[in-house]
Amino acid sequence: MTEQTWIPEDVDSERPSIARIYDFYLGGNHNFPVDREAARQVVEMAPELPEIMRVNRAFLRRAVRHLVEGGIRNFLDLGSGIPTVGNVHEIAQAFDPTSRVVYVDNDQVAVAHSREILNGNDRAMAILADLREPATVLDDPEVNRLLLLGLGEPMAVLMSAVLHFVPDDEEAAALVATYRDAMPSGSYLVLSHACDRASAAKRVGPAAAQYSRTIAPMKLRSPEEVTRLLDGFEILDPGVVYCSQWRPDPADGPVPADPLPTACAVARKP
């Protein structure tokens, strides 16, 4: 795929993007010089950030695999970013080709590249929308059609490394509650969130402040605060833990004694 095919004409290539910076951290090439420079400035403060992103991505893969093996076939990935190897539709459809996935992002490059990858896959799609506008997402006719939202079939809503970009606690809680209320009984929420772990505070705190100044407002939350976001859900074992601790897979490497500061959970709507 050439650069010309994946960059929409009206994209501002001089403004850093959360999705493209995440792509850079994961080793992708769908990012601009401004994204790479912003990422490098943050990594200077917290060198472990690329590894944090990879550990978060590994958690997402394990969570999706667990849910699809348990019977979930509908996935709504909010703030999905730019597709990378082992993305949600690849994991879910490898287990059951009838699995359906909708990716949602407010970055035009992420959505354009997603649509290019998904071309010909009639059970996966990407829409340009902001997760902070749940009515827009949930009322989208194509989202409703693909995920069978009107039929009461359980689904999984994925909020992977996105809610720390909603710094207001009340807004973050209200967003989770809105999506929860729209989910049928038996549905799941997959959540991961940058955490203010004491052992990494001297590095990650300033890095988060740099994100807020140059990329997007960001707020670290404690595991206890992340737990409160899950009000109304039943949290699956092992609870709210660091990403490397959630049902670890030997293929992802050993679980470190001092986990990286990203909390996560998988929770079920009763």
Q: What pLDDT, on a 0 to 100 scale, did the predictor assign at position 204?
A: 74
Where exactly are the structural domains of the chain?
Answer: 3-268
The pTM score is 0.89
Which residues in the chain come in under a pLDDT of 50?
1-4
Amino acid sitting at position 3: E
Q: What pLDDT, on a 0 to 100 scale, did the predictor assign at position 123?
A: 97
Query: Which residues contact residue 202 at a Cβ distance below 8 angstroms, ignoring those fewer than 6 apart?
Result: none
Q: What pLDDT, on a 0 to 100 scale, did the predictor assign at position 11?
A: 59
Amino acid sitting at position 90: E
Closest among 128, 240, 145 to 191, alpha carbons compared: 240
Q: What pLDDT, on a 0 to 100 scale, did the predictor assign at position 52?
A: 86
153-191: b (≥16 Cβ within 10 Å) or e = ebbbbbbbbbbbbbbeeeebbebbeebbebbeeebbbbb
174, two tokens: 């209200």
Report the C-alpha dihedral over residues 17, 20, 26, 30, rounded to 10 degrees: -160
Over residues 100-110, the pLDDT tens digits come to 999 999 988 88
Q: What pLDDT, on a 0 to 100 scale, did the predictor assign at position 8?
A: 58
Beta bridge partners of 189: 157, 267
Query: What architecture is the 3-268 domain classified under in CATH?
Result: 3-Layer(aba) Sandwich (3.40)
